[in-house]
Amino acid sequence: MLLKVKDIENIMEEYAPSILKESYDNVGLMIGESAENVTKILVALDCTMDVIREAKNKGCNFILTHHPLLFVKPKTITTDTLVGRKVIELIKNGINVYSSHTNLDSVKGGLNDIVTEILGFSKYKIIEMSETNDSGKTDAGIGRLVILDEPMRFESLCENVKRTLKAEFIRVVGKDDKLVNTIAIINGSGEDFFSESIKLGADCIITGDTKYHGACDLLEQNIALIDAGHFKTEWIPFKVFIEKFKKQLIKDGYDNEVIISKCTFDPYKIK
């Protein structure tokens, strides 16, 4: 059975409805034609030029990403901008791009749930419920709050995060011997949810992309922080989701190859 772009759109919309996205976000089919047949599917966190070249080299005419290629609406599509060059290259080569971002973070079974479970926690609740109530997904929202049955030393929690997310390094705020009782987990960039997490009783926050002043504020409030990086808190859980996606393709009768990008990596490196 031939897989069409629209079939992938339907699978993704069923799993993570676009209506669950945050108001600032842009999700769905970024570039392409819904009626087009799909050859191979390349999975990446971001649609970079390297990923586009990889798709061409591997015969993939569909790229599935977490981060939207068109996050901010461009004023022009020309070779004068990086986004313009990407869009032109994709269209020239007949490559479709679909992105599932904060809707996939938010939904039950999405990235927030996956990263929480990867870290070893099975009982948790949502930090900020989705504002959308007509999606049929009543248990969706950003961030997960874990209330531990027994307190955990901050040092042990740091070691667990570093090991399970395969992080070369993490940035932390807090004393090693601090006893953690309630953990807020927000994959990607979670600083906007610090206040709500603290209101809900979090005495430790695990996320990425934190800034100096936010870290200082947490320190003053005796709230521990583990910044494992934007990449690590999203790429690993995204790949876990892709296994679910592949199973759904097979269940629906499609045998298209799904390839994990070799060109997706953390842009930061340690000197």
Q: Is 234 annotated as a binding residue?
A: yes
Neighbour tally for 243: CB within 10 Å = 10
Q: Is 105 annotated as a binding residue?
A: yes
Question: Three-state SS across the chain?
Answer: CCCEHHHHHHHHHHHCCHHHCCCCCCCEEEECCCCCECCEEEEECCCCHHHHHHHHHCCEEEEEECCCCCCCCCCCCCCCCHHHHHHHHHHHCCCEEEECCHHHHHCCCCHHHHHHHHCCCCCCEEEEECCCCCCCCCCCEEEEEEEEEEEEEHHHHHHHHHHHCCCCCCEEECCCCCEEEEEEEEEEECHHHHHHHHHCCCCEEEEECCCHHHHHHHHHCCCEEEECCCCHHHHHHHHHHHHHHHHHHHHCCCCCCEEECCCCCCCCCCC
Binding residues for a divalent metal cation: 66-67, 105, 230, 234
Binding residues: 66-67, 105, 230, 234
